[in-house]
Structures are given as C-alpha cells and as structure tokens.
Amino acid sequence: MSDWLITGCSELLTLRGSVPRRGAALSDLGIIRDGAILTRADRIAAVGPRRTIERMRGARRAQKLDLGGRVVLPGFVDSHTHLIFPSSRASEYEQRIAGKTYEQIARAGGGIRVTVEDLRRSSPKTLRDDASARLREFGAHGTTTLEAKSGYGLNWQSELKILDIMQQLHQDQPLDIISTFMGAHAVPPEFRRRPEAYVDVLVKSWIPAIATTGLAEFCDVFCDRGAFTVAQARRILATAQECGLVPRIHAGQLAHTGAAKLAIELRAASADHLEKIDRADVRALALSAVTCTLLPGCEFHLGLSQFAPARALIDEGAIVALATDFNPGTSPTLSMSMILSLACTHLRMTPAEAIAAATINPAYSLRLHDRIGSLEVGKYADLAAFDVAAYREIPYYFGVNLCSFTMKRGAVIHSKT
Ligand code: NIG
Ligand code: FE
C-alpha cells in the first residue's frame, strides 16, 4: 500500500478537537487553508499547512496527489442504514403521492412486510451483489463507514443471512460496515396475533445467540405506534445489553411514545428520528450521552412537514448526528450530501453543524471516534474531496454529487481526477 502526500486542499476540514460535539462546538470544523495530509499505510501520519507537511521526512518518498484546490473532509460516517434489501417499494411511493400515509399502507399489509417476504425469497448472492453495488455508490458519494441493520428477515434463517452478508461485505470491500441486529423491526407474519410471543423469542433465543456469534455490535428496536411498545423495547434492549450488544432505538418517528426517554434510561448509543419528541424530551436528551440521530430524508421522501427539532436539540446541548436511513420504505437515498442539504434547509442547521453531525458525532455514536470522524494523526486515512469553492457549497448545491475523490484507509476508492 502506498503512502500519500495529498496537497491542493483549499479548505481542509480536520474536525479536530473535543468529542462528542455539543452546542457551539458543533460548528468547529478545525479548518486549515491550503492544507496537506501525509498518510502512512492505512493511517494519517501528518496533517497541517502544506508548507509544513511537504517538508516532513516521509513526504519526499510518498506518492504525490495534488487535488488542485478542493474541499477535503473526513469521510462521511452514515450511522443509520438498512443496507440489505431486495428491491424498491416505488409502488408505495405512488400510493403516498395519491394520498395514502405510510402507516395506512403498512396496516393494509404493505410496508416493511413486503420487503420481508421478498428478502426471504432472495438468494444471498443477489442480495450481496446488490449491496456491493450500493456500497460503491456510498463510496462515490464520500461515505467511508456505515452502520447497517438487519430487520428485513424476521426469521432466524433470514436475519442470519443478512448479518452474514454484512460481515462478508465488511471483509471483502473497502468500506467499514458496523452491524446492528434489528429483529424488532416489525412483528413478523408468523406472530401477527402474538407479538409478545415474538418478543419472547427475541429475548430468550435470538439475541443471546446473535451476541455469541459476534455478527452484531448493536441492537435496535423500532419503538413506535404500530411497531413495538416502550415496554417491549425495554425488555428487548435490556436483554441485548446484558448480552453485550449496545442499544440503539428508532424513537418518535410516527408518534410521541416515550421511546426517547427509554433511550436515556438504557444509555443507548443513539436515539434516531425524533420528529415527534417534546420539550421535556429535548431537555433530557441534551443532558444525556445519547446521540440524537436525525434522518431528514424520511420527511422529505414521505412528504411530511414536521421535521425533528434540530435547532432546539443543538441549542440545548444535545449530541446531534445526521444519517441517510437508507431504506426502501422511507428514505431511498445513499447520499449524505443530500442529507446535509435537507438538514440545512429543513432542520435549520448551518453547513458547519451539518458536516460535524455527519462525521465526528456519528463516529462517536458508533464508538469509533478514536479511529474515524476527524482527520488527525493516528486515525484512519478516510477522507472525501469535493469540487466546490468552500465547504458551505456542499449542502448548497443539492441533488448533485460533487464528491470527486474518496480515500478509505489509505486506498483510493473513488477518483474523478
Ligand atoms: O427507519 N421506521 C422503521 N424503519 C425504517 C423504515 C423501514 C421500511 O419502511 O422499510 C425507517 O424509517
Ligand atoms: Fe431506520
């Protein structure tokens, strides 16, 4: 593997400094103008002003890469995706355009269950090949690490099929994939009239077994109206925790249920969505170490106007992150820069806040902040370069991919140069 001397970074956004970022610190991008990076194998050996880095010992024999005046930042960390799914649900998109809601479609037998039936029939090879192609696109859009959830299998064999594919992909392609077990995504058809019996299976059998395989680090529950109750989620996530899996939770997407408070009670790594939380939740989250992962792609795609109270969360001091929630039902996008655009326009986050919420804070929520999320000596050489004049243009130009170069662990995985 080559060592690289990367120059031509008109703005080098290091994101160095305190972790996690709260309040005013969320805007602190640690910018170096005319910056340079020296890599050594898969790590960052030096980062600073070009003149300083060029003079360093390792710089002379490193391979030279001049980005010619681009904005360079840590690779995006997408901390909420449902990567493995068999096909789109574009017909539901049309039903919603015609006036049906996400919940009406789900109650009528559509939604997650359609994807589950389809996934159970799909071969591991097809699922894997599709996911591989998606991962190349994630990389081409500047994402270098992503979290991925199971939850479209909902029987033992198919959940394992998904987790196995994620493990293989983590090993065989350049991006890092962090796995989350989400058997509690929906009550499977076999248990339709017996949700408590399904929770029993999760708690007594599947979660302890998954924890022993090492196929997942986190456990997530869709705790919302029409999905799992707070009491069920508490039981599932408390068991997961006893087994060594760290809780994450889908909270407050469809209704205010007390799921956000449960995240705090369980010291979950992350509470995600949060569109329907109240002032008391905001204050409690702000005082906690739970990362608030906001997913504005969902409101955009579902055509909803109530976004998460990002401004209040940031101003009160909560740890805020942004993610795509890449999935076929509510957010079929893998573009973090599109999410930044939505965050700036609809969540009223500044471009600087959005960038920190897409790099260092999600790295913290995945417990990977010692290795990724900022460009600092000793961390992985995970970075993305954008063809823009200044970082604020990344969200400003929406719906286009201006990422022209991505490096993952010191290897070039995307280059338009
Ligand atoms: O995060 N809310 C639950 N899970 C997904 C939607 C999954 C689906 O509809 O397929 C989400 O929005
Ligand atoms: Fe989700």
- Residue 385 sits in a domain whose CATH number is 2.30.40.10
393 and 258 fall within a common domain: no
Task: Provide the β-strand partners of residue 270.
Answer: 248, 291
Residue 75 CB less than 6 A away from ligand 1:
no
Ligand 1, atom 12, lies closest to the CA of: 330
CB distance 219 to 245 below 8 Å: yes
Contact criterion met (CB below 8 Å) for 321 and 365: yes
Sorting pLDDT into bands at 50, 70 and 90, what band is 1? confident
Question: For residue 335, how far is its CA from the centre of ligand 2 (angstroms)?
Answer: 15
Same domain, 30 and 158: no
- Cα of 222 vs centre of ligand 2, distance in Å, is 8
State the average pLDDT over residues 150-174.
Answer: 98
Distances (CA, A) of 190 to 21, 64, 194, 402: 44, 58, 8, 45
| Residues 246 and 342 occupy one common structural domain | yes
Domain span at residue 188?
Answer: 77-365
Are 344 and 291 members of one domain? yes
In this structure, are 301 and 250 located in the same domain? yes
Which of 318, 243, 230, 233 has the alpha carbon at shortest distance from 279?
318
Kindly report the average pLDDT of the chain as a whole number: 98
pLDDT for 251-277, tens place per residue? 999 999 999 999 999 999 999 999 999
**Number of folded domains that form the chain:** 2
Q: What is the DSSP string of 122-172?
A: S-HHHHHHHHHHHHHHHHHTTEEEEEEE--S--SHHHHHHHHHHHHHHHHH
Tell me the two tokens of residue 145. Answer: 């690490």
Gap from CA of 323 to ligand 2 centroid (Å)? 10
Residues 196 and 231 in one domain: yes
Residues 181 and 300 placed together within one structural domain of the fold:
yes
DSSP character for 203? I
287 plus 184 within the same structural domain:
yes
Q: What is the pLDDT of residue 326?
A: 98
- Measuring CA to CA, which residue among 295, 305, 360 is closest to residue 325? 295
The pLDDT tens digits of the residues spanning 235-253 come to: 999 999 999 999 999 999 9
Same domain, 261 and 308: yes
Q: Is the Cβ atom of 115 under 6 angstroms away from ligand 1?
A: yes
Say if ligand 1 is within 6 A of residue 328 CB: yes
- CATH number reported for the structural domain that contains residue 287 in this entry: 3.20.20.140
Q: Last residue of a domain, which of 324, 347, 365?
A: 365
Cβ–Cβ contacts within 10 Å for residue 64, how many? 12
- Same domain for 150 and 81: yes
Residue 340 has pLDDT above 80, yes or no: yes
Q: How far is the CA of 158 from the centre of ligand 1 (A)?
A: 18
> What pLDDT does residue 206 have?
98
Residues in the chain: 417
Q: 232 and 179 in one domain? A: yes
Residue in 79, 112, 114 to alter for ligand 1 test, most ligand atoms within 8 A of Cβ: 112
338 and 306 in a common domain: yes
CA-to-CA distance for 385 and 368, rounded, in angstroms?
21
| pLDDT at res. 133 | 98
**Cβ-contact 349, 296 below 8 angstroms:** no
Q: State whether the beta carbon of 222 lies less than 6 angstroms from ligand 1.
A: yes
Read off the pLDDT of each residue in 16-31 and give the average, rounded to a whole number.
98
Q: Is 325 in the pocket of ligand 1 (CB under 6 A)?
A: yes
CA distances from 243 to 203, 215, 362, 404 (A): 10, 13, 23, 42
**Predicted confidence band of residue 417 (pLDDT cuts 50, 70, 90):** low
